[in-house]
Chains A and B, each alone.
Chain A
Amino acid sequence: MSDDIVLKVEDLHKNYGNVTVLKGVSFEVRRGETKIICGPSGSGKSTLLRCLNLITRPDKGRIWLEREEITNRNININKVRQKIGFVFQEFNLFNHLTALRNVSVGLEVVKKMNKDEARKIALEMLKKVGLEEHAHKYPAELSGGQKQRVAIARALAMNPAIIFYDEPTSALDPQLIGEVLEVMKALAREKVTSIVVTHEMGFALSVGDEMLFMYDGKIIERGIPQEVIQNPRCEEARRFFQRINELYVGKRR
């Protein structure tokens, strides 16, 4: 495997009881790449992301992060997760900590950094997402868009090899989506490696390097976003993008 590959996924399977959620998913993410994953709900996108950092254990298949096989049982999973940033749909900020502490707590607890150093990095990251003047605020005092930007700063602070975004704008009011997407676009242009599960086609078109379309636990179409969105080969993808397009146009009106 070349150094260029940050993440390699091979034949991932996952069942919940009788329900098969992932039916053999394989792909690679190159350094600096922004990989878009889309597909109808229930197609296994979120489960896939959760399997990739082993929050959910896959039943079968292998995953390598920077040439290290993380599906190996002997590996220290907490060490691995430090290298994978995760941004949730529901933000999941720590409610008892200020924005600044939300970003610095991982550095202090996990990376054993001293408080001042962690604080410095946290401030830098908040500045990067445009929130340094809100550093002292608690999550309840922030808007949804601001919360999500803090969550992105929190992930960035750990200096991860890759960031996963799980529908990062789906829980936001339409007028707050833009500020989050701007931050994500800026990071993508800085070549921060990422996997983005999203239905924001504008985002996918402007910074996505490759798009994977998932359906029923499998990747059934892949290619550069423009091709997949505008000229999908399979019927499922065609129907999906048509629906998204109608919704997208309707929302912006």
Chain B
Amino acid sequence: MVTVWDYLPYILEGVWWTLGLVAGGLALGFIIGLPLSIGQVYGHRILKLIVEIYAWFFRSVPLLVLLFLFYWGIFPATGYKLDPLTCSILVLGFRSGGYQSQIFRGAIQSIGEGQYIAARTLGMSKLQGIYHIILPQALRIAFPGWVNEYAIILKDSAICFVLGVMEILTRTRYVVMATLEPLLPYFIAGGLFIALTYGGTKLVNMVYEKTKIPGLIGRM
């Protein structure tokens, strides 16, 4: 007889898919969120408003709704037929961009205007001041918030099962259906998420410790 344990490798393979969703979503969220945060702090009034609306939209609509909206609505309507994985990564990324923009905005604002003005008085341009003086500090200060974002997006990625992305939960559900045994498979799935949360935050905290600067503190 086939037991749940025979399906373990099948479930474990889902870890790669989950990590793919998380890495893709976080990376895209970073690429979107960082410029947005700079725009929100240093940009023109209209730019600030656009960023605010963006962040507000993606933080207010449930992920499940966003997934359906983009997969069945927006992408097909604009002529793109995306596969579930790509669509999920994009949606996770758009949404994380909204959250990350607020993490970075807070970090930038906590640095204070003085150092930026000092950079400008040396003759640095706006962009040089932001790039050389503000961002190296803001990224360090944002680190704890960013680790948090990793944990959140990791757990949220499970919702992508609704589009049939072959991540941990999707596979677990198939195993449950095949074995008619729900308890152990879902325990395994939960354990995998715990391990990924723990391992991931440990890893990034190690990077954080390495890049720490005396007196420049981000709270962990």
Give A residues with C-beta under 8 Å from B. Answer: 53, 55, 78-82, 84-86, 88, 90, 92-96, 105-106, 109-110, 138-141, 151, 154, 158
Contacts and interface: CB of A to CB of B under 8 A. Distances in A.
Main secondary structure of the interface of B (DSSP, over half): helix
Interface of B: 111, 114-115, 117-125, 128, 132-133, 136-137, 140, 213-216
Contact of A88 (B118, B124, B215, B216): B118
A95 B213 contact: yes
Given A90-B114, A95-B115, A96-B137, A81 B213 contact: no
A93 B115 CA distance: 6
Given A94-B119, A94-B133, A96-B136, A109 B114 contact: no
Contacts of B119: 94
B121 A53 contact: yes
A84 B121 contact: yes
Contacts of B137: 94-96
Given A92-B115, A95-B137, 17 more contacts: A53-B121, A78-B124, A80-B123, A81-B123, A86-B121, A90-B114, A92-B114, A93-B115, A94-B115, A95-B213, A95-B215, A96-B137, A106-B122, A106-B123, A106-B124, A109-B132, A141-B215
B214 A138 contact: yes
Nearest to B138: A96
Given A92-B114, A96-B140, A138 B213 contact: yes
Contacts of A140: 214-216
Given A96-B140, A109-B128, A79 B213 contact: no
B124 A109 contact: yes
B214 A55 contact: no
A95 B110 CA distance: 12
A82 B120 contact: no
B95 to A, nearest CB: 30
A252 to B, nearest CB: 30
Contacts of A151: 118
A82 B115 contact: no
Nearest to A90: B114
Contact of B122 (A81, A138, A139): A81
A109 B133 CA distance: 11
5 contacts: A96-B213, A110-B122, A110-B123, A138-B215, A138-B216
- Give the 3 A-B CB pairs with smallest separation, nearest first: A140-B215, A82-B123, A92-B118
Identify the interface centre among A79, A95, A139: most chain B CB within 10 Å of its CB. A95
Given A95-B137, A109-B128, A109-B132, A158 B123 contact: yes
User: Of residues B114, B120, B122, B133, which shows the largest number of chain A Cβ atoms within 10 Å of its Cβ?
Assistant: B122
A211 B125 CA distance: 33
B129 to A, nearest CB: 9
Contacts of B118: 86, 88, 92-94, 151
B12 to A, nearest CB: 41
Contacts of B111: 95
Nearest to B217: A140
A147 to B, nearest CB: 11
Nearest to A83: B123
A84 B117 CA distance: 13
Given A109-B128, A109-B132, A110-B128, A96 B122 contact: no
A86 B121 CA distance: 6
Contacts of B136: 96
Contacts of A86: 118, 121
A80 to B, nearest CB: 8
Nearest to B128: A109
A79 B122 CA distance: 9
A78 B123 contact: yes
Nearest to B111: A95
A95 B214 CA distance: 9
Nearest to A111: B123
